[in-house]
Structure 1
Amino acid sequence: MNSPTTSHQTTSAAKPSQTISNNRQSLCCYTNHTNYIQVIRLVNQSHTNWQRVIFPGERFLFEADSESNLEIMGDEVVSSLVNCQKLLVKLEV
């Protein structure tokens, strides 16, 4: 009977290179705190670009790497750009 791999073995066997760790996906959350509909668009170095319509008061969870930015377009003519590092979900254990 094979025993499962322990976390110690997994950790020591899989040391990611710097390029992989820079592209690690993190859980992010954006909330539309305005009274109007917004369109958000993920902008990053890789080819993972998407956009979504977010209604007033709606929360949207997504994964993004540390270099990604969220473009927020709404009622204003000028859109704003927020680094996804500012939108990271903090998990409490």
Structure 2
Amino acid sequence: MDFVLNKETMEFEPVKPPYKTVEIRCETKEDYNDFEKIVALSQPKKPIPADEQVIRYVTTYECPNCGKHLVDNGLLNYCYNCGQKLDWSDEMDGEK
């Protein structure tokens, strides 16, 4: 166990890990497959620019996971249809 000096109290305290440990039990193969899907959705993917623009003055994108149209450029962090996390980093570079 590691200890660190607390400068306010001048006492040594055990170091607290900066994260929580979560135990997930997959009892069946279906549970494991569901867990893999959830982990895959949490990995950010870049939205795909749509071939056909649906709304004027707004750039339309497609979700890289389900293919549904997204009309918000950088306002959505997740696809509202499937829950895929979206990475807008390249699309937002020109707006800074």
TM-score, normalization by structure 2: 0.29
Going by fraction, where is strand more abundant, 1 or 2? 1
Higher relative contact order (CA 8 A, sep 6+): 1
**Which has more helix, going by share of residues?**
2
TM-score scaled by structure 1? 0.29
Higher Cα radius of gyration? 2
